[in-house]
């Protein structure tokens, strides 16, 4: 997990034989009661959680420079802690957690019939037509194996300095064929802004507000823009612990909230169940997974040859956590953790250190809610 703590060179971007199950387990994550305008708060024991163990996890979160920690089980707020002068309405940048929202917006657009992720992104990015980039599909952008130009300098210096970040990202080179290199490519993900806007004929921030934030009751959540007015999709979302828990519940309930299907259950499975590429078993469609295999680093590229090397080191993102647990993760271990088996959502926000220094509170620590605090099914 220390690899996910080693992120950008400057503050603003993101973290962070494949073991694939055939399908989500039957009966997992049955629909919960959406929280509505007010959360139902319960004692941990009422939803099968050990209060003492949760308390110890919260102490660890406090020591780990957290601003807040929220634990939800069966749609009910079973634990909530705030530190460092924050409260339930305190907002902050969640950095690359934004990517998982971008993934869901693409899923909604596909559900609407506005795009297909197997289509060439050049359908909405005309600058790529007639170039090697025409081979890049929307799926490749979601999987981070698009082959678009990537280096720490382009991603963490030039992209951040660009007034028009979408135009900068689109103008980078195609350095390899899609599917041959996995890289945690912020610039490539930002090109989805033009894809989404072209496909939906709507401003992306407005689309997110109307199709996700408003229906979910995420009243303190906004997407931010670059200096040219483009919605930022690789980082920049401003939100609260409680609002992010609502998004986690949407995913836990397979895209359904308040009796409405906001994004299809099929999309939730595609985005979070199977690795999207053999180059990184820990990555779905802009979500971090816990499947066994090659685990890619946010600061290094993984080639196809390296991934297929039998001597390559293999494992899981969080070895002790269930294999179907998944995370949205941002710079400094901003976390939404969804565990379908225990029907829990954990949200942690904290200090956005460019290079995390111990003690911190990351996915390994958040997973203790599942592995230690859940005492009844």
Q: What is the CATH number of the domain that holds 338?
A: 3.40.710.10
Least confident range from 60-74, 200-214, 297-311: namely 297-311
Report pLDDT for 26: 37
C-beta of residue 361 within 8 angstroms of C-beta of residue 66: yes
CA dist 273 and 27 (Å) reads: 15
What is the DSSP code (8-state) at residue 235?
S
Instruction: Please name the residue that has the structure tokens 């930022």.
Output: 232
Q: Exposed, middle or buried: residue 222 (CB in 10 Å: 0-12, 13-18, 19+)?
A: middle
C-beta of residue 109 within 8 angstroms of C-beta of residue 341: no
C-beta of residue 13 within 8 angstroms of C-beta of residue 95: yes
Distances, alpha carbon 143 to alpha carbons 9, 127, 147, 215, 351, in Å: 23, 21, 11, 27, 27
Average pLDDT, the chain: 91
Radius of gyration (C-alpha) of the chain in whole angstroms: 19
Q: In this model, does residue 27 exceed pLDDT 90?
A: no
Q: For the whole model, what pTM was predicted?
A: 0.92
Q: pLDDT tens digits, residue range 237-255?
A: 999 999 999 999 999 999 9
3-state secondary structure of 373: helix
Owning domain of residue 346? 2-373
Q: Per the structure, how many domains does the chain have?
A: 1
Q: In this model, does residue 115 exceed pLDDT 90?
A: yes
Task: Give the residues across from 344 on adjacent strands.
Answer: 73, 339
Burial state string for 282-298 with b = 16 or more CB within 10 A and e = fewer than 16: bbbbbbbbbbbbbbbbb
């Amino acid at each position: 997990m220390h690899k996910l703590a080693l992120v950008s060179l400057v503050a603003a971007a993101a973290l962070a034989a494949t073991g694939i199950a055939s399908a989500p387990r039957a009966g997992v994550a049955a629909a919960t009661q959406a929280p509505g305008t007010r959360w139902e708060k319960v004692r941990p024991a009422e939803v099968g959680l050990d209060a003492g163990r949760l308390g110890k996890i919260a102490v660890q979160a406090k020591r780990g420079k957290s601003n807040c920690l929220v634990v939800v089980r069966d749609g009910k707020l079973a634990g909530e802690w705030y530190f460092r002068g924050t409260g339930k309405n305190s907002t902050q940048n969640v950095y690359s957690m934004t990517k998982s929202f971008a993934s869901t917006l693409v899923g909604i657009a596909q559900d609407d019939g506005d795009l297909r992720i197997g289509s060439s992104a050049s359908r909405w990015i005309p600058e790529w037509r007639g170039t090697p980039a025409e081979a890049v599909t929307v799926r490749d952008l979601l999987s981070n194996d698009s082959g678009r130009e990537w280096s720490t300098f382009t991603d963490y210096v030039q992209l951040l300095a660009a007034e028009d970040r979408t135009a900068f990202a689109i103008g980078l080179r195609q350095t390899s064929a899609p599917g041959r290199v996995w890289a945690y490519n912020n610039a490539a993900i930002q090109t989805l802004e033009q894809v989404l806007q072209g496909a939906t004929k709507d401003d992306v921030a407005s689309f997110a507000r109307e199709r996700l934030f408003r229906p979910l009751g995420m009243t303190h959540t906004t997407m931010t823009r670059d200096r040219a007015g483009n919605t930022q999709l690789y980082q920049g979302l401003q939100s609260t612990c409680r609002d992010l828990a609502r998004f986690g519940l949407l995913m836990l309930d397979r895209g359904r909230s308040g009796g409405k299907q906001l994004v299809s259950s099929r999309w939730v499975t595609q985005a979070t169940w199977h690795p999207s590429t053999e180059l990184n078993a820990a990555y779905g469609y802009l979500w971090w997974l816990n499947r066994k295999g090659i685990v890619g680093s946010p600061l290094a590229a993984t080639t196809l040859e390296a991934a297929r090397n039998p001597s390559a080191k293999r494992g899981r993102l969080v070895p002790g956590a269930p294999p179907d647990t998944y995370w949205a993760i941002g710079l400094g271990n901003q976390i939404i953790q969804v565990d379908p088996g225990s029907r829990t959502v954990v949200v942690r926000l904290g200090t956005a250190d460019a290079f995390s220094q111990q003690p911190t509170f990351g996915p390994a620590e958040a997973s203790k809610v599942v592995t230690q605090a859940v005492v009844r099914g």
